[in-house]
Amino acid sequence: MGKDIVIRIGGEGGEGVISTGDMLAQAAARAGLEVLTFRTFPAEIKGGYAMYQLRISTEKILSQGDTFHVCVAFNGEAYEMNKDLLTPGTVLVYDSPGGDFQSEPIEGVIQYPVPMTKISKVDLGSLLSKNMVALGAVMQLFSFPVDSLKDLIKAKFKKKGEPVVEMNLRALEAGAEYVRSHLKKVDRFYVQPAQPREDRIMLSGNEAVGLGALVAGCRFFSCYPITPATDIANWLSRHLPKVNGVVVQAEDEIASLGQVIGASFAGVKAMTGTSGPGLDLMVELLGFASMAELPIVIADVQRGGPSTGLPTKSEQADLFLAAKGGHGDFPRIVLAAATIEDCFYLTIEAFNLAERYQIPVILLSDGALASRTEKIKRPDLSKIRIINREAYSGNGEYQRYAVTETGVSPVSIPGQAGGRYIATGLEHSETAAPKYSPDYHEKMTEKRFRKIAAIEDEFPEPECEGDEGGDLGIISWGLTQCAVKEAMRECADRGLRVRALYPKLVFPVPVKAIRRFASTVKKVLIPELNYQGQFAELVAAHAGVSAIRFNLYGGLPFTPAQIREKITEVIK
């Protein structure tokens, strides 16, 4: 068998699909395996189709994979959604007899009926235990570590009392026992044993952003709840008070960014987390922050748009907004995360850049990355560099917006007697007094843009892989990089001459790296999850490199197979 196993669990939202998946993922991670999850939620609280997919391997996992090996169907809808994806050699575990559907024989597909509903309702007397019965069956069928799962159940239900723990353990055992006594394993999938490694943490993209903020020194976070960004706030709400930080739920996104700007003016590192509709509302204050030269960080966890769009799905369609949104000319920096590690390290980088250049920095993530959990190498905090804004020394006549060679001027904070100034959205002089003369508007606009004129040289060079002189070069950004990376492995195996560039700084566009890269390949391909080819447009406009575009806009991330097929098609 292959070195990894992909299990997909589908059912009605609220039925325990997510918690079953979480348990399996945690159990595998505890047992020393690498884990990466992928999930889709319905936008509704109860009802609608929910799906949780976990990929388990003994080696580092790059993406959610192409498809699944095992499908666990809690109900008829899950079966209908996935039956066409069941290919020869794959496995279907489903609720039968006694479930709400009958499966049909599918050629080459191994089917294991497990009466999840019946066992929970009739034998255990509570339909609530259905997911535990399913968990027990899956555990038995694919050799999940029993002790890890039992420990997790005990920990999860401890607060609800011993009877609840017992009931869940009984349900787990009932599912396992049914498999032992009624089914014969004929598939070839099982979870490989591994050695637990101490230096690992497991977290979601949103949690990684929260952790990154905490490590970067963020001590003020204001937000307004919005899918799929809310978990950043949820995580920080629990942990920021431990470092004397403050989390506020504001009345709307405008207020969140307003508060963040106020906190930054007061000298505290501050951030907000939102999604597209929230970023729309923040744009006026984004311009203010850039004009007043206040460091702020915004995490935009992109979802399908426009308008309310697809709240629980993924898209990479906020790039124009992040890079260009707002009236007037003002600088900002946009970073894009592709992995859980990126969510952590780029959040720290976002704060460092914001502080260094006294500028707004937007970190783009997306719904799939936000909710995926993954086991990663525990960050070595001693190696992390933290940058703080250049402070006013307190000596001499203070000019808040002194025109300097780098464009960066030392900043005072309230409490510094000689550092008094009025932060303003009006065009202003060196001393922050309103000043609208043509020469000043030009001089100050240039000063603000000068701060990031050399940003590309000061930012780590984007990672590049594959041989020079390739037939094709792929430039990807955000989550799409994961699918490209995995596709690249197979290209190498098949001897295809393909190169790939993985920029994390997406705006200002790293034009030098892109031009250099483009000059080493015959054609350039830019795959992205949006209709307009937003990064391709920016690359064309700023770097003068025109690329073949590959756009998906259905709300789901690229799979490695989709990238591989496109590569083959383009190279041909």
Given the rule CB under 8 A, which residues bind another protein? 26, 29-30, 35, 200-203, 207, 211, 214-215, 219-220, 222, 239, 241-246, 248, 250-252, 254-268, 270, 284-285, 288, 292, 375, 378-379, 381, 414-417, 419-426, 433-434
CB of 314 closer than 8 Å to CB of 553: no
Looking at the Cβ atoms of 104 and 198, the one nearer to another protein is 198
In the complex, least distance from residue 403 CB atom to another protein, rounded to whole angstroms: 20
Looking at the Cβ atoms of 424 and 532, the one nearer to another protein is 424
CB of 84 closer than 8 Å to CB of 95: no
In the complex, least distance from residue 7 CB atom to another protein, rounded to whole angstroms: 17
Give every CB contact of residue 220 below 8 A, 6+ residues apart in sequence: 245, 246, 248, 259, 260, 263, 264, 268, 269, 270, 271
Task: Extract the tokens encoding 314.
Answer: 């993924």
Task: Extract the tokens encoding 529.
Answer: 């999850």
The single-letter DSSP state of residue 418 is: G
Nearest residue to 448 via CA among 408, 415, 507, 488 = 408
Looking at the Cβ atoms of 404 and 431, the one nearer to another protein is 431
Looking at the Cβ atoms of 171 and 271, the one nearer to another protein is 271
Nearest residue to 353 via CA among 543, 540, 212, 476 = 212
Nearest residue to 257 via CA among 293, 282, 233, 278 = 282
Looking at the Cβ atoms of 188 and 420, the one nearer to another protein is 420
Query: Which residue is listed with tokens 């990807």?
Result: 476
Looking at the Cβ atoms of 121 and 435, the one nearer to another protein is 435
Looking at the Cβ atoms of 248 and 525, the one nearer to another protein is 248
Going from the C-alpha of 168 to that of each of 17, 30, 181, 524, the distances in angstroms are: 15, 20, 20, 54
Query: Which residue is listed with tokens 């993924």?
Result: 314
Looking at the Cβ atoms of 71 and 299, the one nearer to another protein is 299
β-pair partners for 472:
498, 523
Looking at the Cβ atoms of 76 and 410, the one nearer to another protein is 410
Look at the alpha carbons of 535, 538, 543, 547 in this order and tell me if their dihedral is positive or negative.
Answer: positive
Going from the C-alpha of 396 to that of each of 114, 159, 294, 417, 423, the distances in angstroms are: 79, 61, 22, 11, 19
CB of 339 closer than 8 Å to CB of 348: no
In the complex, least distance from residue 23 CB atom to another protein, rounded to whole angstroms: 12
CB atoms within 10 A of CB 379: 18
In the complex, least distance from residue 348 CB atom to another protein, rounded to whole angstroms: 12
In the complex, least distance from residue 3 CB atom to another protein, rounded to whole angstroms: 20
At residue 505, the 3 state secondary structure works out as strand
